[in-house]
Structure 1
């Protein structure tokens, strides 16, 4: 079964460039089929014209958000490592050999909300991969020494990553902005917890049992394959996976009522950094808030914005400025990070940022400018839907957030509905001083 992938993208791009009504149409141009096994395992299939190529993703809806016990952060990321340690049937070497023989490379990544295991392979090896993936999800096995060895590797990864000032800045920002929710720690976890991780073998088994179970996993397959044949294989290899339940209670973050600040004295020379973050609502397709805040970030801080042009291009008081508002299952952060040219310019850059935000609250955006931003966001996303892997990566993101692949289409409909008034409302509600956290990082002088 084949679908004209590039033709679908060409049509979609044409719609992105056309008038308003196109913005209300589904942005995802390929058929999606969803089936659920009796044990709760969800299987999402997207036939796509990628001759002989298949993307095979396993989306585990567990990330650092799930690490609710004090002193035990970092285990979602830890299992990104441990899942390659093998089973009785497939040792680590056997698993790696299988993917090498298939001309494939299995990989994984962890976020605040989910962990994703991914592989791109030739479709002739699909049954072998389904067999191997089901085996490690159902029968992962590792010794205490394996566990301790990998946990020490994670500690080494932490020291490597957080030797960079921007990583340390972000860690401090999260720790300061959140007081209760598990978004307080980054995906890697708190350092003191990682240092203690070698002593937590028994807890690791508990974490795996809680979250690596069929009702919490989505198998996502995109590319050149027969859906009915794939379902036969999924039922054959995953059908005996035992269904379990676990009620996760993530602490609710209380509303922030006053500005918070923190500072880092960096022990080496570096340009100064400034981070400013505002609490924002969880991802939702039920209103325009998520889409509107994304548009607002582009409007105020995008490369075409007056602020960016002034700070980075004209005055050159900042080397960079960027804004991110990642989609989150729970309320997250609207984050601005700037690398400033010198210590004495930090306050000036900060004031310029707040002035630009104040303007967004007080002055409605020109409708033509808003339309151009919407079109650019839609066009940029459409251009990424050109390979089995990129399609799978995009869908995995939304499967994590809602469990429903159609939420991708729904959120892009909300983008089309955002009005100038919505942007002002969102800036007035969320981009305010009492909802703000500031962190600065200054390096030692040469």
Structure 2
């Protein structure tokens, strides 16, 4: 257990120990090349989820003109190797009766395979080969950049994409969270001519010390470790350092409106700058940051669940808002955003809706916090986390996300310990310190002439 987690638990007398959510204790080893191997045994006879976490996302795209490459490699990694060309790889996966996929976030990329446990050895060999020996021609590279451009075009047709792009840009002037995972369109259009850069990107970030193998389900850790040593042990490389600029603390809010050229209900994103999932140079600072993260999660539940007074007033009683929600599980490595979303009824006013949101937050800051509802939200969050882990894939995905933003599975234990100890005073404090108008960024969208 990390020292900061031990300190956190010591700070919270109501919590006797870290509260793990896994039925069996996770097992972890590290290969000499730095790659981590983690197993999470679950009661799932005959099934394993084989997840490969790579610590690279949009936040690592620091060079001007080169956004979107973490997402591009989500595509490129399925292009095969000399030993297992693309068609052979896919045929093998299908022959196992397995499913495979991948996704990219601002902080990490995750590759997923769910397969019968009886073919674990073959899966290890296939996956180890493609992560060490990815091979693609310039023609194949150009094909994938075209696919990325098509994905961008499809996404850009949705109001939510344009709003998220705009919100990111106004909220982050220096940090790479200022661009989305897909990247800027101008950079995507340049990708076909950047095959040499793409190979350097792969070498910089697809390294053993930047990779964590997470296997959940019907898995024997000793067997997994032996297979990992055999097939990944000769992998070499060290992750390049990403020189990410720190974002200054906001001093005044920013608001932007988008005229949308097609029919669309009026909608709004309101966001407040909040700390990273866990951060700080000292153990005490890291424990305090995690306490803030947990308290903010409770704020999400207090304001935006369907039973919340704010939701009942705007959606059920006034009917001025059609949909009201928030991005409650959006944890991040660096300071990011607490995001609330609203789709307005025709004729409803943005200012009135924004005023209602800020007013509800300000009421929390002033101490209007129902202690019973705080406890109910805490219980619901923990229950929801448990029910989100019904399959080996669920377990592996949950583990990957907390390892990615918190550094290890201890981060999940620490988060649950902090959540259990959140008090009404904590809720008031984070609302008053972090969710203020001076830290707020707002994007609105409504039908209008094209910009």
Calculate the TM-score normalised by the size of structure 2.
0.92
Question: Among 302, 305, 309, which residue is 2:308 paired with?
Answer: 305
The answer on whether the counterparts of 1:64 and 1:186 sit within 8 Å (CA) in structure 2 is yes
Q: Are 2:287 and 1:286 aligned?
A: yes
Q: Are 2:110 and 1:121 aligned?
A: no
CA distance in 1, matches of 2:17, 2:359: 31
Question: Among 427, 431, 435, which residue is 2:435 paired with?
Answer: 431
CA distance in 1, matches of 2:118, 2:196: 39
CA distance in 1, matches of 2:88, 2:22: 37
Question: Among 127, 134, 138, which residue is 1:133 paired with?
Answer: 127
Q: Write the deviation string for residues 219-244 of structure 1: whole angstroms up to 9, x where unpaired.
A: 00111122111111110000000132
The answer on whether the counterparts of 1:271 and 1:343 sit within 8 Å (CA) in structure 2 is no
The answer on whether the counterparts of 1:55 and 1:388 sit within 8 Å (CA) in structure 2 is yes
Q: Once the 2 structures are TM-superposed, how far is the Cα of residue 131 of structure 1 from its aligned partner?
A: 0.5
1:188 paired residue number: 182
2:322 paired residue number: 319
Worse-matched range after superposition: 360-369 or 257-266: 360-369
1:422 paired residue number: 426
CA distance in 2, matches of 1:237, 1:52: 22
1:198 paired residue number: 192
CA distance in 2, matches of 1:388, 1:50: 7
3-state DSSP of counterpart to 1:269:
coil
1:212 paired residue number: 206
CA distance in 1, matches of 2:331, 2:35: 24
Worse-matched range after superposition: 304-313 or 402-411: 402-411
Q: Once the 2 structures are TM-superposed, how far is the Cα of residue 395 of structure 1 from its aligned partner?
A: 0.3
Q: Are 2:168 and 1:167 aligned?
A: no
Q: Once the 2 structures are TM-superposed, how far is the Cα of residue 403 of structure 1 from its aligned partner?
A: 2.7
1:443 paired residue number: 447
CA distance in 1, matches of 2:433, 2:194: 42
Q: Are 2:91 and 1:92 aligned?
A: no
The answer on whether the counterparts of 1:291 and 1:414 sit within 8 Å (CA) in structure 2 is yes
CA distance in 2, matches of 1:332, 1:261: 17
CA distance in 1, matches of 2:81, 2:18: 48
Question: Among 365, 384, 387, which residue is 1:383 paired with?
Answer: 387
Q: Are 2:408 and 1:404 aligned?
A: yes
CA distance in 2, matches of 1:133, 1:351: 51
CA distance in 2, matches of 1:22, 1:240: 43
Q: Write the deviation string for residues 261-308 of structure 1: whole angstroms up to 9, x where unpaired.
A: 111110011111111111000012612101111111111222111111
1:35 paired residue number: 29
CA distance in 1, matches of 2:347, 2:183: 30
Q: Once the 2 structures are TM-superposed, how far is the Cα of residue 410 of structure 1 from its aligned partner?
A: 1.1
Q: Once the 2 structures are TM-superposed, how far is the Cα of residue 444 of structure 1 from its aligned partner?
A: 3.3
CA distance in 2, matches of 1:57, 1:225: 13
Structure 1 spans left out of the alignment, 5+ residues: 1-19
The answer on whether the counterparts of 2:15 and 2:421 sit within 8 Å (CA) in structure 1 is no
1:70 paired residue number: 64
The count of corresponding residues between Structure 1 and Structure 2 is 426
For residues 123 and 106 of structure 1, do their structure 2 counterparts lie closer, same or farther at Cα, with a shift above 3 Å needed? same
Q: Once the 2 structures are TM-superposed, how far is the Cα of residue 440 of structure 1 from its aligned partner?
A: 0.8
For residues 337 and 23 of structure 1, do their structure 2 counterparts lie closer, same or farther at Cα, with a shift above 3 Å needed? farther
The answer on whether the counterparts of 2:23 and 2:42 sit within 8 Å (CA) in structure 1 is no
Q: Once the 2 structures are TM-superposed, how far is the Cα of residue 343 of structure 1 from its aligned partner?
A: 4.6
The answer on whether the counterparts of 2:206 and 2:239 sit within 8 Å (CA) in structure 1 is no
CA distance in 1, matches of 2:204, 2:340: 35
3-state DSSP of counterpart to 1:265:
strand
Q: Once the 2 structures are TM-superposed, how far is the Cα of residue 152 of structure 1 from its aligned partner?
A: 1.1
For residues 320 and 104 of structure 1, do their structure 2 counterparts lie closer, same or farther at Cα, with a shift above 3 Å needed? same
The answer on whether the counterparts of 2:259 and 2:447 sit within 8 Å (CA) in structure 1 is yes
Worse-matched range after superposition: 239-248 or 392-401: 239-248
CA distance in 2, matches of 1:64, 1:160: 19
1:80 paired residue number: 74
The answer on whether the counterparts of 1:26 and 1:413 sit within 8 Å (CA) in structure 2 is no
2:7 paired residue number: none
The answer on whether the counterparts of 1:106 and 1:119 sit within 8 Å (CA) in structure 2 is yes
The answer on whether the counterparts of 1:364 and 1:421 sit within 8 Å (CA) in structure 2 is no
Q: Once the 2 structures are TM-superposed, how far is the Cα of residue 402 of structure 1 from its aligned partner?
A: 2.5
